[in-house]
Amino acid sequence: MIIAATVIILIIFLLLGIEIGTAMGLTGMALLYHMYGNGALSVAAKVMFDSLNDMTLLTIPLFVLMGAIMMKGGIGDEIFKFFDSLAGHLPGGAGIATVLSCSVLAAMCGSSVGITAAIGAMAVDNLRKRGYNLELSLGLPSSAGGLGALMPASVGAILYASITDVSVGQMLMAGLIPALVIVVLFSVYTVWAFNHSENKSLGEKHTWAERWQAFKRAFWGLTVPVLLLVGIYGGFATVTEIAAVACFWSLIITMFIYRRLTWKDLLPTFRWGLSVAAMVMYLIATSLLLSNAITQLGVPEMIRAFFVNNNIPLWGFLIITMVYLVILGTALEGASMLLLTMPVLTPVLHAYNYNLIAYGVLFLINVELSLLSPPVGLTVQTVERIAKSLRLPITSTTAWKGCIPFFILYTVAMILVAVFPQLALWLPSTMK
């Protein structure tokens, strides 16, 4: 009854056109009012303050700001040109260059939408020139951009760690090997798709001198993900401190080495980055308000009892929750999914004695699926806007169709992690 009432209230707010963060906050307030009456407002204020009073969450605005600085500095273009100079002349090389560029950008920008926007125009144009069909030319950058949800610098991983009380550093590193598995799957598919395209054409083979020049232009940008990965894996400082250093270093690179970010650009860049971070923090506060109310009403215990009392095996729990998250991803974006469901699912995971970090990687792959799921599909919408700016003859379904093969490949990766959890757990287990 409580679960049904919560869902109905939330749906009503959403149908009224209320933004998802506000809708969850109002739903949480309604539940708190049911429990506390006129005292609900003071309870809500304390819950929202406590939810943001966490030093770990400071990492989020730092990563978002770093991504904004790197995008404004055009680092994505240089990284894409470097990988294209290496692989562009090979069969499917343009697709491989796109996937590799997105994976590197994902390690310095926790925003999948930001990654897609950073190289989308160049990638789509390049893929079309090499003979990829229009659907695949839009579907590949939409899908590869989703790696931002899984690679280190992932905002989702930080939120997950904060909610489930696992190590932020270990959670960030846990996604690295599964992300590389996805990179391989995507690369193999793009080569296969290229070999089966009708108008395929190979790119120009660059000389080693040209590749060296491309590497030198991309080098300083490549130092940012290296700094993050080495710092987090080596445990040289806290994740928040490493994020602050990486953010400052990206500012130095774009202003004084690449010289693409001027003093005049600084304020708009900071304003945009911090506005996005503020939106995320607002979403965290309102989502955890709703989660807190649901927890006080005993919903997590009810769900735990349902699975335990019905003797549902672990694999059954994983299948049920993964399918549920895929469906939920058609209506909510990743942060909302995570903040709304993990406080409820965490007690169930404890009952099954299932590793929270392994489940976190499965969850983040589901977040990647949500980026490709209509009607929300944020990375797909980003690429659609890019395609329209390039005046490509697209319909309302072109990009969505192009994402179907990659949706399947993400699902394959999720199954691999579920069957072989060491894909997610081995690297964190070796950390200092």
CA distance 239 to 172: 9
Q: Taking residues 250-259, report their average pLDDT.
A: 88
Domain ranges of the chain: 55-275+298-429
SS (H, E, C) 77-131: HHHHHHHHHHHCCCCCHHHHHHHHHHHHHHCCCCCHHHHHHHHHHHHHHHHHHCC
Other Cβ atoms closer than 10 A to 188:
14
CA distance 342 to 355: 14
pLDDT higher than threshold 90 for residue 298: no
Other Cβ atoms closer than 10 A to 226:
13
CA distance 274 to 55: 17
For 145, which DSSP code?
A: G
Residues whose CB falls within 8 Å of the CB of residue 48, separated by 6 or more in sequence, listed in order: 285, 286, 288, 289
CA distance 399 to 407: 12
Residues 429/422, Cβ–Cβ less than 8 Å = no
Banded model confidence at residue 202, pLDDT cuts 50, 70, 90: low
What percentage of the chain reaches a pLDDT higher than 90? 15
Banded model confidence at residue 307, pLDDT cuts 50, 70, 90: confident
pTM for the predicted model, two decimal places? 0.86
Q: Taking residues 310-317, report their average pLDDT.
A: 90
pLDDT higher than threshold 70 for residue 168: yes
Q: pLDDT tens across 211-227, in order?
A: 899 898 889 888 888 88
pLDDT for 424:
94
pLDDT higher than threshold 90 for residue 132: no
